[in-house]
Amino acid sequence: MSQEQKAVPACAPRTLAQANEPARQGAVHTLTILGATGSIGKSTLDLVERNPGMFHVVALTAQTNAAGLAEAAKRARAELAVIGDTACYGELKERLAGTGIKVAAGQRAVVAAASEPADCVMAAIVGAAGIEPTFAAARQGRRLALANKECLVSAGNVFMSAVARWGTELVPVDSEHSAALQALHGAEPESIEQIVLTASGGPFRTWTADRLAAATPEEALRHPNWSMGAKITIDSATLMNKGLELIEAYHLFPVRADQLGVVVHPQSIVHCLVSYTDGSVIAQMSQPDMRTPIALALSWPRRMSAPTPRLDLASIGVLNFEAPDETRFPALRLAREVLRKGGTAPAILNAANEIAVQAFLARRLGFSGIADAVAQTLEAAEGRGLMSEPEALNDILAVDAEARLLAQSVLGS
């Protein structure tokens, strides 16, 4: 569905509608973490450990880090630990021998773990690999703390329809969307004028185009404010991450694409600003620490204690804002374009970007070539008639696979 076709709903989606709904009272007791050894998973487990007795961990999953998963499972006293790569099963089983923790392996086992009954599933598997497990978690009709971008970027309409059908309580974990959720608390959809997401600008905010072309993976991975995984850190450097977040916000909140904006804010203190029809602007602020939005996702609509640095505006002194430069950072423009096109265009964008980022990290592609490769893949996909409206998850997965092959062809690999 293109943004021109989207009608602002008479009532807001569950992420906004439940802001004033006290029935659940944020009562998350049993918890599953998909992607437990990644950045979001580790931060979630840190909160679990700091709040003993508050959570019972049902299942933890990881893809290849058997040692990290075993240690996390033991510390969290999880019932089940699942490793996606079957080659790592033996190591995981050996490390958890005698603990009483059940062990499984393979992608089917990851999906099964996501389906285990839990009050909340933290969906933190990075990339398209997280789509199917996150769908499985949503089928429970309970709370889904969403940190996987691809469900909304690649499968937005299909995913949100499924969430509505299953009665899932969807709470975003991205700091910007968490901030929007808070700033929209109690709002009527017709009163919302604009949602503006902030971007740090990444490590290359002030670099010239020539210097950007020579940027190395090591330089791109030095994010000035956030500690994140490699993929999302590179996306932050290209501003693709902010483009993907615009697509996510479009599906999460009752706005059209032309009501979504981005502003560069190097300090990463203000995470989102919501403008209203009366001229008011409500912003959410906090230090750049993912434990803040994670804590909110686990406790919403209440709040739980988090050991994050406290905000001291006097010591910060100045907060800067500037418009993003879509000439030096064309990935943001590409994301806006595919949001307007709708259909499978966002899925193709996401798949091509994953392949291009992998190539950059492997030094087979220059930094400026990431957006170029994505643009060429989108053009090739449109020429092949791949940009239709998907009807089901299988449609999304098929297009994702074909887009990856196209992107590899573009890169000559």
Cβ atoms of residues 57 and 32 within 8 Å = yes
- With b for 16 or more beta-carbon neighbours within 10 A and e for fewer, the 218-247 pattern comes to eebbebebbebbebbbbbbbbbbbbbbbbb
Task: Report the alpha-carbon distance of residue 178 to residue 171 in Å, rounded.
Answer: 8
211 vs 26, which has greater pLDDT? 211
Read off the pLDDT band of 2 (50, 70, 90): very low
Are 233 and 223 in contact by the 8 Å Cβ rule? The answer is yes
* Confidence at residue 222, expressed as pLDDT on a 0 to 100 scale: 87
SS3 string, 256-295, reads CHHHEEEEECCCCCEEEEEEECCCCEEEEECCCCCHHHHH
CA distance 81 to 102: 6
What is the residue whose two structure tokens read 């062809």?
Answer: 409
Q: Parse the chain into domains and list their residue ranges.
A: 14-173, 180-410
Chain centroid, CA 3 distance in Å: 21
Cα separation, 351 vs 128, whole angstroms? 8
Token digits of residue 172:
């975003």
What pLDDT is stored for residue 127 in this prediction? 83
Question: In the predicted model, is pLDDT for residue 197 greater than 60?
Answer: yes
User: Would the CATH topology of 14-173 be identical to that of 180-410?
Assistant: no
In the structure, what pLDDT confidence band is assigned to residue 228 with cuts at 50, 70 and 90? confident
* Class level of CATH domain 180-410: mainly alpha
- For residues 153 and 248, the answer to whether their CB atoms sit within 8 Å is yes
**Alpha-carbon radius of gyration of the chain:** 20
Residue 5 has pLDDT above 90, yes or no: no
Joined together, the tokens standing for residue 367 give 């930094």
Work out whether strand 260-264 and strand 192-199 pair parallel, antiparallel, or are unpaired: parallel
How far is the C-alpha of 413 from the C-alpha of 322, rounded, in Å? Answer: 38
Which element (helix H / strand E) includes 405?
helix 393-410
CA pair distance 188, 16, nearest whole angstrom:
9
305-355, pLDDT tens digit by residue? 999 999 999 999 999 999 999 999 999 999 999 999 999 999 999 999 999
Q: pLDDT tens digits for 84-130?
A: 999 999 999 999 999 999 999 999 999 999 999 999 999 999 888 89
Domain 14-173 in CATH 3.40.50.300? The answer is no
